């Protein structure tokens, strides 16, 4: 007890042991004690000394504490003491205290979290950090130690689980990548850590959030696993439960973890969008009408929420993923909610700035979102477009610098790939659309372009340049803009006014920090006239512009002025490269000669290359958002850096080229154009041929289908013909039998005519008589009509006035005559047919009346003639049959020849089989001989064995024994029965 009293701070007599000695004795006690209580007391003592004697406890007791974690798993109290001791050794207390002090301060988006620390404190903190890293390395030398901590997390006891969470967090802070690698390969490691979010104890859940923040830093694989462990659902539920933006520090931790999971991780971003989690972000931004009294925590939370939205639509993401997220944000109403915050009053400045940046990236490159933003109006009287209100803030020098940069970025994003929006902005500058009663975007941009504030000049110039970006139509339209500079003077074009400001020297340019103004105007002019020969002509038409540019480039000035010289060189190079040689004094060749004489080609190229070497140029080229530490460093625009990169090389080549090379290039261009025309012609020809081939293929397909149908019908018809042939043969046989029976009959058929046929003929004759009578009556009527017509024609012929009617009547008369003639011919034909039928009827009647004895010779002759005709018909039939038989005979002969050939083949095969059978018989005989020899050898061997006294059973003996055994079994069965 005295020992522990000395350790715990009690007074004891005699010299007191040092801290290292005490810790050594406690470590020996932990290692050697057999009682759990003694070990527990020793570990508790080590815990109390671990903060004061961190080095000694970590050096001497770490292995013993790890051993306690492995062996004393049943006692949660000693496990908690051991984990707390390890945490005190590994964790950096001063850093924790600093974090706690910083948590009470609102993190600002620009300045960040910084704390002024004196030099001794910095050295102490460095030593503590080194000590924590050293002990962390010692602990994770064996990966099983980290796995052991993961298993301890499954313990539900608060005194075990909470220290384990804090210890893992400290390990990740000190050696994050190494511990992440161990957890990643550990089975169910990440899943065990995700279970912390479901713990009902808020302390463990909140520290679990901090642990997952450290775990997901910079490791995409762990981020994916955490996301697929349903992290998004759990975190959004916690944010909702804690009050969304009005929540406390827990909401901030959840948002920081979400940022870790989504930033620069396209897989998780896609999973977040596909899971419809974007729709759940909308309620975060539903701020009320009363925006007074925003707490520091709410500002922090809303700032992180806006950053989370920006992560989903960042310009660095793939275009397809960004466009999909932008569409979802518009459809779910998130963009509308952000625009509401944008136009609300009482919103803190940093939140308003971040909201503007967020809206910028939500609408960037999305036509639907850009159109919606153009329709948003501020709640003012009268209502003004949101774009106009924002531009008023941009050109107002009293507004914060960060806010003005955000508005410029918003305007740039509104015009990005938005030709419709560009046209609307330029239209506000044209004379026909200017409204004197309202402030337009064009008026604000012109006011900012020519104001006394250099930052307003630069922002307005860049904004106007974005209205012309990649839009030749608007570049030409902007040439129509006229400005009234002063009373009594004629209006000046906007292009001329920009060049006037550049060339006025000390009057305007040298006032204040005007490098920024000149750089902005030069960027605007370069963007305006590039790829627009008409604008180049307008620029060169002013006689003062080219001398001013050459004078600026040829001077030797300071560092800032060298940047202006480089931009002047770029502008002059654009005038050369996009020159259409419409002005005789400023053709391409003359401008190059001017550069060579006044400046020198090498000097010109050197000044031109200085632009891309500037430090601020490299910073602006990194990302589209204009982020500058101070207004003085705001010199380059992101899109302009792309233009410089594109034009620098071609301008250098254009300056060094001679007129002959240009002529050759023009010839080459012409030949290439001709070649392209030829290629296009061939392409069109190939397209036509492809279309024709396609049509022919379709025709072939249709014709093949028709052919198949026709073949099917042909086969059907062939089968029908075959059926008719069979029926014909059957009828032929039946007819032969009927003829034989009729020849032996009673003579009921006379001359091939039966009584039924005679009655039919008589009926036909009577019908013809009736028809003849009708025709005669009709003929009489027609004759009477003709007579009447003749009399009428004679009467009308007397009248001279009715000449035309007479001609008509004559024509009708001729038509009637022709009809009469036709009818008379028909009557004659009918008469002849009637006579023939009467003759046939009379002959038939005479034959029926006469008896069958054939007394008269004419009847015999007629009978003989009929028989002769029948025989001739039969001979013809026989001839046809003989022909068909000869054809069938030829077919049979061919079949016989084929059969004989097959017989010959079968005979040869039979001969082969016979030879094979003979060979197999020979082989069988040989085998029988071999078997006989083997039997003989076996017999001789058995005899030798018998002679040697060995008992050898013959096959006969074996058969006899088997027979006796069978008989005995049968007798036994009978006895049992």
Residue in 561, 631, 549 with CA at minimum distance from that of residue 595: 549
Band (765; pLDDT cuts 50, 70, 90): low
Please report which confidence band the pLDDT of residue 431 belongs to, taking 50, 70 and 90 as the band edges: confident
Confidence of residue 944 (pLDDT cuts 50, 70, 90): confident
Confidence of residue 826 (pLDDT cuts 50, 70, 90): low
The pLDDT assigned to 56 comes to 86
Structural domain includes residue 305: no
Residue 117's pLDDT is 39
Is 609 part of any domain? yes
Q: Per-residue pLDDT for 709 more than 60? A: yes
Digit-coded pLDDT (tens) for 458-501: 999 999 999 999 999 999 999 999 887 766 678 889 999 998 88
599 in Cβ contact with 547 (< 8 Å): no
Residues 105/113, Cβ–Cβ less than 8 Å: yes
pLDDT at 772: 66
What is this structure's pTM?
0.65
**Mean pLDDT along residues 109-128:** 48
Across 338-346, average pLDDT: 90
> Of 58-62, 151-155, 509-513, where does mean pLDDT reach its minimum?
509-513
> Secondary structure of 872-912 in the HEC alphabet?
HHHHHHHHHHHHHHHHHHHHHHHHHHHHHHHHHHHHHHHHH
Instruction: For 268-320, give the DSSP string.
Output: HHHHHHHTT-SGGGGGGG---S------HHHHHHHHHHHHHHHHHT-TTS-HH
How many independent structural domains does the chain possess?
1
More confident residue, 835 or 518: 518
DSSP conformational letter for 545: H
Q: Tell me the CATH number at 599.
A: 1.25.10.10
Residue 824: is its pLDDT beyond 70? no
pLDDT tens, position by position, 563-596:
899 999 999 999 999 998 888 888 888 999 999 8
**What's residue 328's pLDDT?**
95
Closest CA to 414 of 475, 342, 485: 342
> Rounded to 10 degrees, what is the CA torsion of 70, 73, 75, 79?
50
Q: How far apart are the first and last CA of the chain?
A: 98
Confidence of residue 810 (pLDDT cuts 50, 70, 90): low
Question: Which of 308-322, 861-875, 908-922 bottoms out in mean pLDDT, i.e. has the lowest?
Answer: 861-875
Is the per-residue pLDDT at 976 higher than 70?
A: no
Given this model, what pLDDT does residue 769 score? 66
pLDDT of residue 4: 44
Report if residue 630 sits inside a domain: yes
Q: Is the model's pLDDT at 11 over the cut of 50?
A: no
Q: Which residue segment(s) compose the domain that 639 sits in?
A: 427-657
The pLDDT assigned to 418 comes to 94
- Residue 88 in domain: no
Asked, for residue 178, whether it belongs to a domain, the answer is no
Predicted confidence (pLDDT) at residue 393 exceeds the cutoff of 90: yes
Per the CB < 8 A criterion, the answer to whether 320 and 272 are in contact is: no
Find the mean pLDDT for residues 398-424. 94
- Of 140-149, 400-409, 481-490, 537-546, the poorest mean pLDDT is in 481-490
- Residue 482, strand partner residues: 493
Give pLDDT, residue 883: 73
Burial 847-876 (b: 16+ CB within 10 A, else e): eeeeeeeeeeeebeeeeeeeeeeeeeeeee
For range 64-79, the mean pLDDT = 88
CA distance 300 to 106: 6
Out of 27-31, 312-316, 431-435, 727-731, pick the least confident.
Answer: 431-435
| Number of neighbours of residue 643 by Cβ within 10 angstroms | 20
pLDDT exceeds cutoff 70 at 679: yes
For 529-558, how does the pLDDT look when each residue is reduced to its tens digit (9 = 90+)?
A: 999 999 999 999 988 899 999 988 988 776
On average, the pLDDT of the chain sits at 80
**956 — pLDDT class (breaks 50, 70, 90):** low
Is the pLDDT at 424 greater than 80? The verdict is yes
What pLDDT is attached to residue 58? Answer: 84
Higher pLDDT, 153 or 973: 153
Q: Most distant CA pair in the chain: distance in Å?
A: 184
Rounded mean pLDDT of 333-362? 93
Give the percent of the chain with pLDDT over 90. Answer: 36
pLDDT-derived band at 730 (thresholds 50, 70, 90) equals confident
In the predicted structure, residue 960 carries a pLDDT above the cut 60: no
| E strand map for 92-189 | none
- Residue 635 falls inside a structural domain: yes
Q: What average pLDDT does range 236-255 have in this prediction?
A: 92
Give 702's pLDDT tier (boundaries 50, 70, 90).
confident
Neighbouring CB atoms inside 10 A of 346's CB total 12
799 pLDDT higher than 50: no
Whether the bond into 883 is cis, omega within 30 of 0: no
Average pLDDT in the 80-101 region?
71
**Residue 229 located in a structural domain:** no
Between CA 406 and CA 412 the distance in angstroms is 10
pLDDT score, position 210? 94
pLDDT computed for residue 97 by the predictor: 38
pLDDT at 939: 80
In a domain, 332, yes or no: no
The DSSP bridge pattern shows strands 492-493 and 482-483 to be antiparallel
State the pLDDT confidence band at 946, using cuts at 50, 70 and 90.
Answer: confident
Q: How far is CA 643 from CA 251, 394, 636, 906, in A?
A: 44, 24, 11, 92
């Amino acid at each position: 007890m005295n020992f522990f009293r000395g350790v715990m701070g009690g007074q004891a007599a005699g010299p007191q042991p040092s801290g290292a000695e005490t810790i050594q004795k406690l470590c020996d006690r932990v290692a050697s004690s057999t009682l759990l209580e003694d070990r527990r007391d020793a570990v508790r003592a080590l815990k109390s000394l671990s903060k004061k004697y961190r080095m000694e406890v970590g050096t001497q007791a770490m292995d013993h504490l790890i051993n306690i974690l492995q062996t004393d798993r049943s006692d949660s109290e000693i496990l908690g003491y051991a984990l707390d001791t390890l945490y005190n050794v590994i964790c950096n207390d001063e850093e924790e205290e600093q974090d706690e002090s910083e948590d009470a301060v609102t993190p600002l988006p620009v300045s960040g979290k910084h704390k002024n620390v004196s030099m001794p404190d910095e050295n102490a903190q460095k030593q503590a950090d080194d000590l924590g890293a050293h002990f962390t390395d010692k602990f994770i030398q064996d990966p099983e130690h980290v796995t052991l901590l993961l298993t301890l997390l499954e313990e539900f006891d608060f005194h075990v689980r909470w220290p384990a969470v804090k210890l893992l967090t400290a390990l990740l802070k000190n050696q994050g990548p190494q511990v992440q690698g161990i957890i990643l390969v550990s089975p169910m490691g990440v899943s065990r850590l995700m279970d912390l979010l479901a713990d009902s104890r808020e302390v463990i859940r909140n520290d679990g959030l901090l642990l997952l923040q450290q775990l997901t830093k910079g490791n995409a694989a762990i981020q994916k696993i955490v996301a697929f462990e349903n992290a998004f659902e759990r975190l959004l539920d916690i944010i909702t439960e804690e009050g969304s933006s009005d929540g406390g520090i827990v909401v901030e931790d959840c948002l920081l973890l979400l940022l870790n999971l989504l930033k620069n991780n396209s897989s998780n971003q896609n999973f977040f969008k596909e899971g419809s989690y974007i729709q759940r972000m909308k309620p975060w931004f539903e701020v009320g009408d009363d925006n007074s009294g925003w707490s520091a925590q709410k500002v922090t939370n809303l700032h992180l929420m806006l950053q989370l939205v920006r992560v989903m639509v960042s310009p660095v993401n793939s275009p397809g993923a960004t466009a999909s997220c932008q569409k979802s944000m518009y459809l779910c109403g998130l963009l509308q909610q952000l625009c509401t915050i944008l136009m609300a009053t009482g919103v803190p400045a940093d939140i308003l700035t971040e909201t503007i940046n967020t809206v910028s990236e939500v609408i960037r490159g999305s036509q639907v979102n850009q159109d919606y933003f153009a329709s948003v109006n501020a709640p003012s009287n009268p209502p003004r477009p949101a774009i106009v209100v924002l531009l008023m803030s941009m050109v107002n020098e009293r507004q914060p610098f960060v806010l003005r940069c955000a508005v410029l970025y918003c305007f740039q994003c509104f015009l990005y790939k938005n030709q419709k929006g560009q046209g609307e902005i330029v239209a506000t500058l044209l004379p026909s659309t200017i409204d004197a009663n309202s402030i337009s975007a064009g008026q604000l941009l012109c006011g900012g372009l020519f104001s006394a504030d250099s930052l307003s000049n630069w922002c307005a110039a860049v904004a106007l340049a974005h209205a012309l970006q990649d839009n030749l139509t608007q570049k030409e339209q902007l040439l129509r803009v006229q400005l009234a500079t002063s009373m009594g003077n004629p209006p000046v074009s906007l292009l001329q006014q920009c060049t006037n400001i550049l060339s006025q020297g000390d009057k305007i340019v040298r006032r204040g920090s005007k490098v920024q103004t000149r750089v902005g105007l030069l960027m605007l002019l370069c963007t305006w006239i590039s790829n627009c020969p008409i604008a180049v002509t307008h620029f060169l038409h002013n006689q003062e512009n080219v001398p001013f540019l050459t004078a600026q480039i040829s001077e030797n000035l300071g560092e800032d002025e060298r940047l202006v010289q480089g931009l002047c060189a770029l502008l002059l190079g654009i005038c050369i490269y996009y020159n259409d040689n419409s002005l005789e004094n400023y053709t391409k060749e003359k401008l190059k000669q001017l550069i060579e004489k006044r400046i020198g080609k090498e000097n010109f190229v050197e000044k031109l290359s200085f632009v891309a070497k500037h430090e601020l140029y490299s910073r602006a080229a990194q990302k589209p958002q204009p982020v500058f530490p101070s207004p003085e460093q705001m010199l380059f625009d992101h899109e302009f850096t792309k233009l410089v990169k594109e034009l620098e090389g071609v301008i250098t080549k254009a300056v060094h080229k001679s007129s002959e090379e240009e002529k050759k290039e023009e010839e080459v261009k012409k030949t290439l154009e001709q070649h392209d025309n030829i290629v296009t012609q061939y392409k069109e020809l190939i397209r036509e041929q492809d279309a024709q081939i396609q049509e022919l293929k379709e025709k072939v397909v249709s014709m093949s289908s028709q052919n198949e149908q026709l073949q099917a019908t042909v086969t059907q018809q062939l089968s029908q013909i075959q059926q008719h042939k069979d029926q014909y043969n059957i009828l032929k046989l039946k007819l032969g039998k009927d003829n034989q029976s009729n020849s032996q009959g009673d003579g009921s058929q006379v001359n091939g005519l039966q009584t039924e046929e005679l009655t039919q003929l008589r009926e036909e004759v009577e019908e013809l008589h009736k028809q003849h009578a009708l025709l005669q009556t009709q003929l009489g009527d027609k004759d009477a009509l003709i007579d009447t017509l003749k009399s009428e024609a004679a009467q009308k012929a007397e009248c001279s006035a009715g000449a035309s009617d007479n001609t008509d009547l004559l024509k009708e008369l001729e038509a009637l005559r022709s009809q009469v003639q036709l009818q008379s011919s028909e009557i004659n034909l009918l008469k002849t047919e009637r006579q023939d039928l009467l003759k046939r009827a009379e002959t038939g009647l005479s034959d029926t009346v006469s008896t069958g004895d054939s007394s008269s010779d004419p009847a015999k002759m007629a009978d003989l003639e009929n028989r002769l005709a029948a025989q001739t018909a039969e001979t013809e039939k026989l001839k046809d049959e003989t022909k068909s038989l000869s054809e069938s005979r030829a077919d049979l002969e061919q079949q016989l020849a084929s059969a004989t050939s097959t017989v010959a083949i079968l005979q040869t095969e039979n001969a082969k089989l016979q030879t094979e059978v003979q060979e197999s018989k020979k082989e069988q005989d040989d085998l029988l001989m071999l078997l006989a020899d083997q039997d003989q050898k076996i017999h001789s061997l058995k005899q030798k064995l018998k002679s040697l006294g060995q008992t050898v059973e013959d096959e006969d003996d074996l058969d006899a024994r088997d027979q006796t055994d069978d008989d005995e079994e049968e007798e036994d069965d009978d006895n049992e029965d």
